[in-house]
Each structure stands twice: as C-alpha cells, then as structure tokens.
Amino acid sequence: MEKVRVLYVSQEILPFTPESNIGYISRHLPQGIFEREREIRVFMPKYGKINERRHQLHEVIRLSGMNMIIDDSDHPLIIKVASIPAARMQVYFIDNEEYFSRKLYNTDEKGKLFKDADERSIFFVKGVLETVKKLGWAPDIIHCHGWMSALMPYYVKKIFNDNPHFADAKVIYSAYEQGFEKTLDNRFVEKLEFDGASREDVKEVETPNFNNLNLLAARYSDGVIQATENIDPSLTDYIKENNIPFLKFPGNDGYISDVDEFYDSIHEGNSVLIEE
C-alpha cells in the first residue's frame, strides 16, 4: 500500500519564525505525521528576517527560475531549502526579492499589514503549487495553516484542478485565531480575476478581511480543523451550514493522532462531521 502524501503549506514554522500557535503546530505536526509512515513536503514563505546562515538555507537551482504572474506583472520565483535535524524534516521556502526581502514578517514597524499582503499571499500559494509540479510529486492531502495559505483551497479546486498533480488532492484548512486587522487591498478580487476567478468564485472576499478570507478557504476545503481554542463563530456557523467535515479543537493531548484520523476520513471520502 502506498504511503499517503501530505503537503503542508504554512505561513509560520518554528524555529524560522517567532513563537506562535501556527509556528508550533506547523513544526510538530508534520514530524508526527511523518513518524506515522506518511510522506510529507513542507513549504513556507522565506521572510527577509529569517537568518539564512544560521538556519543553513540554500537555493535549489533546479526548482528556481520560474516567473509568477501577479496582477499582470512578472515576479521571479526562488526556492530555498533548509532542514530541521531534530525532526528529520526539510522545509522549502518560497522567495522573491520584491515580496519577501524586507526584514520583517507580515507587518511594518508600526504593526500595520503590508500594502501588498494580498499579492504576497497569491505569490506564495501559486509558488508552492508550481514548485510541487516541478518536483513531480502529487499530494493526496494539502494541509494549509495561516491566512497566507487561505487561497490554497480555491487555487487547487478552481485554477489547478485540471493538473494531474492536484486533480485528486483533498484540501484541509486549519483555522486559527491569529489573523490581521482591517482589510487587504481593495483590488484583491480583481487580482484573483486575472488568474481566472469569477466574482461568484470569490464572492466571500468582496470585502477582503480576515474572517471572509477564512470563509473562502472553508468553501473550497474538503475539511476544516479548528486549530486554536477560539475561532470566529461566523466560520463555525458557515462550516455547519455547508456540511463541511470539521474537526473541533483537539487540544494538546492526542492532537497528532486526532488529525491523522481526520486525514484518513477525508482521504477515504467520508463526509461524517466531527462535532462537539
């Protein structure tokens, strides 16, 4: 029997980013799933604040060199890789000088979200999918962590759905309390339209705030995991109204086992909801 292949797409992973729920889970969950005989690949953005020398990042020349078109402009894609020796885990980094060279993460010195946060998210998601294609690796499950990955379910189901690498992939979105204030760029939907979206496809983000981005992710996901103790009630209501398979916050004890079982239920096509 072939191993189930799980692609992890996260905006934060320890030890490359500061302590956070997303970073902690994205560091330990892939390791735990790998130890349960799954095959994994792990991706995150290469923020400028990440110390390449300390973490021994190096460019993967054979995967770099592609251009991502965002809002009718070309942006070179650079792929880097590093290892977490204690986890026996490699992490691939999506990099681009314009989007990710600044020595911060997602907000400026005043704590305001970067004006191009929407384009950074689009670039990140498309960059992961194009790199996975180039690797020749077809995931069975794509597990997304953090709002920067929230577009992934939509892109897999609507834009890359004809590609054999993703045609059968199941997408799971982990919803966290950690988000952003205010809204993304008011041309966000127009930029998605450039990639082939219709207004109906992305109606949830006509107002592109954090909660609506989560609703869009849930709409195109095969399952949603509540990754923190509290998430917005509008999201849980949406999940229940649309009968989306849902794993309520598992807590710390048995977290990896609960998620692993959820993977099996989604991979095997079971639609039973996991309720309170």
Q: In this predicted structure, what is the pLDDT of residue 219?
A: 98
Taking the C-alpha atoms of residue 272 and residue 262, their distance in angstroms, rounded to an integer, is: 10
Residues lower than pLDDT 50 in the chain: 274-276
In this predicted model, what pLDDT tens digit does every residue of 145-175 receive, in sequence order?
999 999 999 999 999 999 999 999 999 999 9
Other beta carbons less than 10 A from residue 223's beta carbon: 26
User: Is the CB of residue 120 less than 8 Å from the CB of residue 148?
Assistant: yes
Q: Looking at the domain assignment, is residue 51 inside a domain? A: no
Q: What's the Cα-to-Cα distance from 269 to each of 64, 124, 171, 262, rounded to whole Å? A: 35, 28, 12, 11
Q: What phi and psi values does residue 265 have, to the nearest 5 degrees?
A: -65, -40
Taking the C-alpha atoms of residue 172 and residue 176, their distance in angstroms, rounded to an integer, is: 13
- Residue 191 sits in a domain whose CATH number is 3.40.50.2000
Give the chain's mean pLDDT.
Answer: 93
- Split into its structural domains, the chain has a count of 1
Structural domain of 127: 5-46+117-267
pTM as predicted:
0.95
Q: Looking at the domain assignment, is residue 126 inside a domain? A: yes
Q: Looking at the domain assignment, is residue 229 inside a domain? A: yes
Q: Looking at the domain assignment, is residue 275 inside a domain? A: no
Q: Looking at the domain assignment, is residue 220 inside a domain? A: yes
Taking the C-alpha atoms of residue 255 and residue 248, their distance in angstroms, rounded to an integer, is: 11
Q: Looking at the domain assignment, is residue 13 inside a domain? A: yes
Q: Looking at the domain assignment, is residue 11 inside a domain? A: yes
Q: Looking at the domain assignment, is residue 122 inside a domain? A: yes
